[in-house]
Each structure stands twice: as C-alpha cells, then as structure tokens.
Amino acid sequence: MIGVVVNSSEHVVVCEFFELFKTPWEFYRSDGQYDVLLCSEDGPIQENPAPLVLIYGDRKLPYDVENGIDIASQQNTRMLSYRGTEIPIYGGSVVFHTPGSAVLVDRDSHQPAIHLEQSTGRTVARIGYDLFREVRTLLTVGQPAINAGIPALELHIAILRDLIVASGVPLVEVPPVPHGYKFIACLTHDVDHPSIRKHKFDHTMLGFLYRAIIGSVVSLFRGRLSLRGLRSNWVAALKLPFVHLGLARDFWFDFERYPTLERGIRSSFFIIPFKNRAGRNERGPAPCRRASRYSASEIAAQIQTLMCAGCEIGLHGIDAWVDASKGREELEEIRRITGSKAIGVRMHWLYFGEQSAGTLEKAGADYDSSVGYRETVGYRAGTTQAYKPLEASQLLELPLHVMDTALFYPCYLNLSPAEASERVARIIDNAIRFGGGVIVNWHDRSIAPERLWGNSYLRLINELKHRGAWFATAAETVAWFRKRRSATFNASSCGSGSLHIDPALAGLTLPALRLRVHAPAEAKGQLTELPIFADTTLPAAYASGRATGGETCDHRLVDRAA
C-alpha cells in the first residue's frame, strides 16, 4: 500500500494519477501501515516506519538541510534522462552534488536528479521535481510540439514503479493493456469535406486544384508520389467541371469506402452537425473558412450505412468546446440522426481549452477526443491512456496521437510514406511498452484525390494488426478504460485483499483486465500476469505488499468468473 502525503489542493491530481497508475494507494493516515510513503515536499517521515520513502520536491527542502543533501542547481525547466530516454520537466527542478542514482540524471550536466539514502530496513529517495505539479501541467496545459514524441506522464509512472520494485517492495497493478492483446488501436475519421461538389471557387476547391496539378508534380520529383498518383490527380482536376455539372462522380463522396478498406474493423466517424457555421475560437469569431459546406442531415443515408457496418458516429463539434447550450444543440442533432444516446465528441480543428471538458460534460457529451496536435504527432497530454480532465466529473478524454495531415502536409511534418511509417512505429512501440492506445485520425477525403493516402492507411492497419492491437471504436476504447477505472483495491483487516470491478462494466463485451504482480527477487524482479474477468481475490502477501522476495503468486489468484 502506498500512502500519499500532499497538500489538499493536489488531491484531484493525485486521484487521477493513480487512475492511470492503477495500484493500491490511499491518502496518508497517521494510523495507516504503508510499504511506500510518497511525499510531495516534506512529510511525516520519522513517524511512519514505511520501508520506502519517496520525497518529491522542486526546491531545497528542510529534509535536505537536516540530512546534508547538497543541491547542485535549481532551474525552471530541465530535460532529464531516464534509462537513456529523455523526460522533460516543465516546473522547477533540482539536481544533486552528492552521489545518487544514475537511473535519472540531468541530460546536459549528468548530475543525478535522485538522491538515495539507505539504512537498515529503509530506503529514502529524494527526487528533484514535484511529481503532481508535472502531472497537472500535462493534463491541463499539455506539452509543446517540440516534445510531442515523449510520453512524459507514462515515464513518470515508470520511474515511480521502478523505484518501488527496485527497493524490494512487491507491487500489484492493473496495467492499461486488454487481456489477449498488446495495446489498443482506435481508428477514427473526421468528416470535413464529404463532397467537392459543395465547394465552388472557395479556398477548399482552389487548394485542391493547386495540390492536384502543381503539388502533384512537386511530389513526383521528390519521390512522394508515383506516376499513377499524378495521373489520378490530374484526371480528377480535369473532371471537376463535370462533377459540378452532375455529369461525373463526386470523387470525394466516397468516405463509405472506409469499412471496406478496414475489413471488419469498426471505426469511428465524427460528423459536423450544421453547415455554414464557423463558430468561435479562443479570441472570438473563427475564420470563415472553418465553416463546413455540409450538414449531418445531408449525409444521413451514408451515416446509416456506416452504422450498419458497425461503425460509431460521433460529433465533430463547432462551438461545443466553449458553449454548453450550443454543445447540446450539436449533440442533439447527431442523436436525432443516429438514434444513439451516448455521443462522443472531437472538435473541428481540434479546438480545446482548459475549461472545455467541463463545458462538454455539461452539454451531455459521453467523451471527448480533441486533445492532440494539428502540426505533429505524439502525446499532447503525455499519456497513451484515456484520462479524466481535472475539471470534469465523469467525462473522459481520449487523446489523439496520429493525424494524417500532420504526417503529410508540407506546412506540418511533410513526411514521405516511409518516414511516416517510421514515425508512427515509434508511437506503436510506446503503446506496447507502456500500454494504452494508438488513436488515429484519417480524414474522410484522405483516400481520394488529391491526397491519395489510402495506401499509407492500409500499411498502418496492417502494422497495427501485426503488432497485436485490439481494434476498437472510440466509444469502445473509452468503455474499456472506464471498466479499468472501476476496479478498486480493497484491503481486509487480516492483510488479504480483493479487486472489485463494477458489475455493469464487467459484463460488457470488452476484453478482460489484467492483474500484474511485480515480485522482487534480490536485484531481479519477477513478473506475473493473469486476466481479470470479475472480482478477484488477492493473496495476503501481495495485498499487504510483504511478499517474500522472488515469490510468484499466479496459483494464488482466484478468478471468480472462471
């Protein structure tokens, strides 16, 4: 059991952190018995006999003075190196002159960011930053694009886990990995331009012509487009007048082809409710070009076709991120067309602010999936997992990790197909390493001229399959994370314990959870995993955290549903 000592103002951050790092913990009680005492700043170190004490702080603390710990430097931002992986610190931080752990060091000076003191039966680790301030920053402000490729929050969890296991304390957790799979893959599509016929001499049509005619030639000479692709784009440009006259097929009106490409994988489509509404941005009225030229009601037949194929329909919101009454109107339009009560949201142009989650929750959204980057790919919130924004009560955020336009547009990453595959492979690697998901947005027109990114999309699907993904819609992904969040550890007075899962969520047709046990054996930890389908009894040794080093406990775990 981890006892956490923090200021009451950080309680909401602590609670969310331990939903992401699903392991037994509680706020510190003076009469509690703990195997790990985690303190932000100073805490009741002497009063509690916990064998492992972790002290986080971004400045010189009274503990440092009392124990002669020499601070080498203090600065506002810093890049640390954790086992060779960079991890940014966005708040204050300190490093130490005195000998410390080489596991976590300042990237530039190589000075340790952890100071260790060991005595008989106790280890004290002084970590040179404020863990929960970092978590708050990641879940509210997010990371700058330059650090997009770093899953910083997952690394903070990994550091804490490693410190616990390395100290000889066994650890039980429910990892963010569905039983039978290595990670979650969620394929989504923002429907922005379902018909080129609706665009007449506006920026969308003119941009299409430029990219199809001139941009295609540039892409051909750069090796980004084949001769066949050049021909397809030029033919589409030549056909455009006939498309507007109704004499040729609208080559953008083909987003229903996605279920065929996905071959039984259910994906999610986010639909704009009303046309010719630009909505608002953070400064006032949004640019007129943000307004869509279609409304959801105009593609109602196509929406029904997608639903019959098992796809999810969500809201591609206009003003829902900033106005709850407008959000209710937008959500109700999607409910009216689909007949679905629970509707998720992704904002058009990924508009989102620190208060948006609360606004969307008030509007009645089931979840949001707007936290991501337009200009790059990676982890804006630093996590591979769905999380609850700090201002929300129930709504979960499913962060976006990969977007096609960010990969390929010249004004963004401007990658070749091979370079894009390599960049996305790193994100898949992180999902396998840390658990969680890879959330992808491939726009409705991206398989049509002039983009022609269909082959890259198929390669991505095949790679996700090959790497062991569970494919789920956005709603299914959020439901699985809700199931995991419902799991609670209960300790009994005799030292044993149990893991309880909300019966309503346990009964859903979703993959089971996993129970992971890290059992230290001298310098090397052993790891055991078992699936959890319903409530599970934990062995006394691991529920209390006092297992014998090296002991495994798979034979002791009882699955009541088995």
**Residues 287, 351: one domain?**
yes
Mean pLDDT of 457-480: 98
- pLDDT of residue 236 exceeding 80, the answer is yes
The predicted-structure confidence for 265-300, as pLDDT tens digits, reads as follows 999 999 999 999 999 998 999 999 999 999 999 999
The predicted-structure confidence for 478-523, as pLDDT tens digits, reads as follows 999 999 999 998 865 444 567 787 877 766 789 999 999 887 754 4
**Residues 10, 107: one domain?**
yes
**Residues 279, 268: one domain?**
yes
DSSP string, 390-409: TT-SS-EE----EEHHHHH-
Instruction: Judge whether 469 and 262 are in contact, CB under 8 Å.
Output: no
DSSP at 131: H
532: confidence class by pLDDT, cuts 50, 70, 90: confident
How many domains is the chain built from? 4
**Residues 224, 189: one domain?**
no
Query: What gap in Å lies between CA 175 and CA 183, rounded to an integer?
Result: 10
Q: Does residue 134 fall inside a structural domain?
A: yes
Q: Does residue 509 fall inside a structural domain?
A: no
Q: Residue 527: what pLDDT?
A: 64
- pLDDT of residue 550 exceeding 60, the answer is no
Query: What gap in Å lies between CA 507 and CA 503, rounded to an integer?
Result: 6
The predicted-structure confidence for 299-338, as pLDDT tens digits, reads as follows 999 999 999 999 999 999 999 999 999 999 999 999 999 9
- pLDDT of residue 5 exceeding 70, the answer is yes
**Nearest in space to 211 (alpha carbons), one of 243, 239, 234, 194:** 234
Query: What gap in Å lies between CA 409 and CA 391, rounded to an integer?
Result: 34
Instruction: Judge whether 50 and 37 are in contact, CB under 8 Å.
Output: yes
- Domain of 221? 197-251
Q: Does residue 486 fall inside a structural domain?
A: no
**Residues 329, 409: one domain?**
yes
Burial of 180 (0-12, 13-18, 19+ CB in 10 A): exposed
Which CATH number belongs to the domain containing residue 168 in this structure?
3.40.50.880
Q: Residue 121: what pLDDT?
A: 80
Q: Does residue 511 fall inside a structural domain?
A: no
Query: What gap in Å lies between CA 293 and CA 253, rounded to an integer?
Result: 13
**Residues 223, 288: one domain?**
no
Query: What gap in Å lies between CA 381 and CA 385, rounded to an integer?
Result: 9
**Residues 188, 203: one domain?**
no
Share of the chain above pLDDT 70, in %: 90
SS (H, E, C) 364-391: CCCEECCCCCCCCCCCCCCCCCCECCCC
Q: Does residue 133 fall inside a structural domain?
A: yes
**Residues 204, 268: one domain?**
no
Q: Residue 88: what pLDDT?
A: 97
DSSP at 162: H
Query: What gap in Å lies between CA 319 and CA 360, rounded to an integer?
Result: 10
- pLDDT of residue 135 exceeding 50, the answer is yes
Taking all residues of the chain, what is their mean pLDDT, rounded to a whole number?
A: 90
* Range scoring the smallest mean pLDDT among 6-15, 166-175, 305-314, 524-533: 524-533
Mean pLDDT of 439-447: 98
- pLDDT of residue 410 exceeding 80, the answer is yes
Query: What gap in Å lies between CA 444 and CA 25, rounded to an integer?
Result: 44
**Residues 263, 162: one domain?**
no
**Residues 125, 59: one domain?**
yes
